[in-house]
Amino acid sequence: MKLPRRNFLAGSAALTAGAALGLQSGSAHAEIAMGDIKIDVVSDGSLTLPGGFIFDPMPRDELLPILDRYGQSAEVLTPPCNVTLLRQGDRTVLFDVGSGPDFSPNSGILLTSLAALGVTPEDVTDIIFTHAHPDHLWGLLDDFDDPLFPDASYMIGKKEWDYWMDPNTIDAVGESRASFAVGAQRRLSMIEDQITMFGDGEEIMPGIAARASVGHTPGHMALEIRNGTEAVMILGDSIGNDHIAFAKPGWASGSDQAPETAAATRTRLMDQLSHEKTRVIGYHLTGNGIGYVDKMSDGYAFVAEA
């Protein structure tokens, strides 16, 4: 059988990168089992960002001692990118698709990570987006600008879709994020006939419910996976790091499009998740992103699972 050129190149790149990274067939970034639901958290690499991207709005005299406590530089951020893969019965579901090759030189390795689990793009049946920022959406297309997951259906919050597809957003979002809007519109328009919108509180698939977590973007959604008494909350970027977001959730962050709204969302989520002891998966949280939120006397802390 002759493979299409796109598939051949994608497979070759995955094998080459996999060998370089020492990935073995069947290995996973991390695993969670919930009855007949299997969740793998796989890597799309990492980002390298200036510290000011998050820290500029924060009071520096209070900020620096906290960062020192966490061993976090104030000048450079290198957050991981953790993509969640869910398999149940005949469904193979991705929550976000990484950044692809066009956003950051240290990211875009999702295909490699999936290949290590024996998962191909053609295996993916459903894709659910938390939001449409580049490191979550731009992996939608391959090197030839064709949809990378040809047999998948797509889902996104209606408010998020409406925001990024509004032609006025490119001018309104600000110069530093204008390319985000251009990239989002181009990619989302290519799957317009295959995408379904959802709203807050909807069960979008059996056992998967949407939870509005706005502020980082206007329509950001967290996704709650539930099986009996077990639950996992996929946070997306509603809680965007494992240091200052936990220590001072009420502080405005430069990474959020509506900083005050995002801070209120983050504080509410921290309170809920710590109270309910809900396991979380954070896209940019340390290690594989899996852990719990612990309430402290002066804020919160991320407790990563071993």
Residues of the chain with pLDDT below 70 are 1-29
DSSP 3: P
What per-residue confidence (pLDDT) applies to 8? 34
What per-residue confidence (pLDDT) applies to 101? 86
CA atoms within 13 A on the CB side of 170: 8
202-249 tens-digit pLDDT? 999 999 999 999 999 999 999 999 999 999 999 999 999 999 999 999
Q: Could you tell me the pTM of the whole model?
A: 0.90
Distances (CA, A) of 215 to 28, 155, 172: 31, 19, 16
The total domain count for the chain is 1
What per-residue confidence (pLDDT) applies to 128? 98
Tokens of 146: 């064709």
Residues of the domain holding 82: 5-304
- Please state the φ and ψ torsions of residue 150, each to the nearest 5 degrees: -70, -25
Q: CA nearest 137: which of 113, 103, 174?
A: 103
DSSP line for 80-97: EEEEEEEEETTEEEEE--
- The end-to-end CA distance of the chain, in Å, is 43
What per-residue confidence (pLDDT) applies to 232? 98
Torsion of CA 304, 271, 70, 58, to 10 degrees: 140
What per-residue confidence (pLDDT) applies to 143? 84
277 within 8 A of 292, measured Cβ to Cβ? yes
What is the CATH classification number for the domain harbouring 170?
3.60.15.10
Packing angle, helices 178-190 and 158-165, rounded to 10: 110
CB within 8 A of 270, min separation 6: which ones? Answer: 239, 246, 249, 293, 295, 300
What per-residue confidence (pLDDT) applies to 11? 40
236 within 8 A of 221, measured Cβ to Cβ? yes
CA atoms within 13 A on the CB side of 67: 17
The Cα–Cα gap between 201 and 225 comes to 12
191-203 tens-digit pLDDT? 999 999 999 999 9
What per-residue confidence (pLDDT) applies to 249? 98
Distances (CA, A) of 172 to 58, 134, 137, 222, 257: 24, 17, 20, 25, 11
The Cα–Cα gap between 108 and 90 comes to 26
The DSSP H or E segment spanning 260 is helix 259-276
Torsion of CA 234, 227, 304, 43, to 10 degrees: -50
